[in-house]
């Protein structure tokens, strides 16, 4: 089975012709399904563009959301919309709603969106401020109150997704697969967080990494050494990878605005 993996495609920045070119780019990979590790569009258009893509490529699309997919919206409403299209659209699978997927014999797929949690780097003294706290209603409300309230909300969101990922993984490992592919948006380890070709510094790491997700992955991978774990993520727009354990590989896809691409073809 061949899986095309894309991340941070930001389809809302493209006109119809450019989107059609991207869909043709996917089809030329001659893959059986598409994996997307977040930042598909923005809240008002994500569902429509996913449906358009499914109609065009006519392949299963397994995806998680990124921070941009919540822009100009609120988290609860976006979740409701993603559950709806997962239920109604045969080819669309938002993994937090669809649950674990069997891809081929011995290979399982799980996914959670994931959120940056401010636990790595130096959040207190960081001079970075992402648009998330202006463009996502839930984070804007906390930012107005204060920087520490925003941090608490970031950690709350990250912890909820990390705990759900742990639950998903524990259910899947009981099926004794040989490989588990994990889709998430935010890189789980600082070693994989690159920014403009360099390792992210302490200013950027609080917003580019999810320690909560990393802790879950390390624990489950250590406890299940016979299973290979491949984690695919995005968010930083810079290619990165790390292998903290012999059976745990993390890949972060490079991305450019207005130039969506297939980062890799994964054969399972």
Whether the pLDDT of residue 230 is over 90: the answer is: yes
User: Across-strand partners of 111?
Assistant: 183
Q: In the chain, where are the structural domains located?
A: 2-267
Q: How many CB atoms lie within 10 A of CB 198?
A: 9
Does 197 score more than 90 pLDDT?
Answer: no
Give the architecture (CATH level 2) of 2-267: 4-Layer Sandwich (3.60)
When pLDDT is cut at 50, 70 and 90, the band that residue 143 belongs to is confident
Q: Could you give the C-alpha distances from 243 to 110, 181, 189, 228, in angstroms and in order?
A: 19, 14, 10, 11
**What is the rounded CA–CA span in Å between residue 14 and residue 10?**
8
pLDDT at 260: 98
The residue assigned the tokens 């894309």 is: 6
Position 144 scores a pLDDT of 86
Q: Please answer whether residues 10 and 22 qualify as being in contact, where contact means their C-beta atoms are separated by less than 8 angstroms.
A: no
- Torsion (CA) 15, 235, 132, 116 in degrees, nearest 10: 160
Percent of the chain scoring above 90 in pLDDT: 96
Q: At a CB cut-off of 8 Å and minimum separation 6, what does 260 contact?
A: 6, 8, 9, 10, 11, 14, 22, 25
Is pLDDT of 145 > 90? no
pLDDT on residue 196:
79
pLDDT of 198 reads 87
Tokens of 133: 């706290």
Mean pLDDT of 161-177: 97
Beta bridge pairs of residue 198:
195
Q: What are phi and psi of 237, to 5 degrees?
A: 65, 10
pTM for this model (two decimals): 0.98
- Using one digit for the tens of pLDDT, what is the confidence trace for 17-63? 999 999 999 999 999 999 999 999 999 999 999 999 999 999 999 99
Residue 195 has what pLDDT?
83
């Amino acid at each position: 089975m061949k899986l095309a993996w894309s991340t941070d495609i930001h389809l809302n920045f493209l006109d119809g012709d450019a989107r059609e070119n991207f869909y043709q780019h996917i089809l030329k990979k001659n893959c059986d399904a598409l994996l997307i590790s977040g930042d598909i569009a923005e809240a008002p258009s994500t569902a429509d563009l996913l449906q358009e893509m499914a109609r065009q490529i006519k392949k299963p699309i397994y995806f998680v959301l990124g921070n941009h997919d919540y822009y100009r919206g609120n988290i609860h409403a976006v979740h409701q919309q993603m559950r709806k299209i997962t239920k109604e659209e045969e080819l669309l699978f938002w993994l937090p709603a669809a649950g674990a997927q069997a891809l081929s014999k011995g290979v399982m797929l799980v996914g959670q969106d994931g959120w940056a949690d401010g636990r790595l780097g130096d959040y207190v003294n960081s001079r970075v401020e992402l648009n998330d706290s202006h463009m996502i209603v839930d984070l804007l409300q906390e930012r107005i109150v204060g920087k520490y309230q925003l941090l608490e909300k970031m950690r709350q969101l990250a912890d909820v997704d990390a705990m759900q990922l742990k639950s998903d993984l524990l259910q899947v490992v009981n099926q004794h697969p040989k490989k588990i592919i994990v889709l998430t948006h935010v890189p789980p380890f600082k070693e994989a967080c690159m920014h403009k070709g360099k390792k992210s510094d302490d200013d950027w790491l609080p917003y580019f990494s999810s320690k909560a997700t990393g802790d879950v992955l390390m624990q489950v991978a250590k406890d299940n050494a016979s299973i290979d774990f491949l984690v695919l993520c995005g968010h930083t727009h810079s290619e990165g990878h790390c292998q903290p354990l012999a059976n745990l590989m993390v890949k972060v896809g490079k991305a450019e605005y207005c130039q969506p691409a297939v980062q890799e073809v994964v054969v399972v």
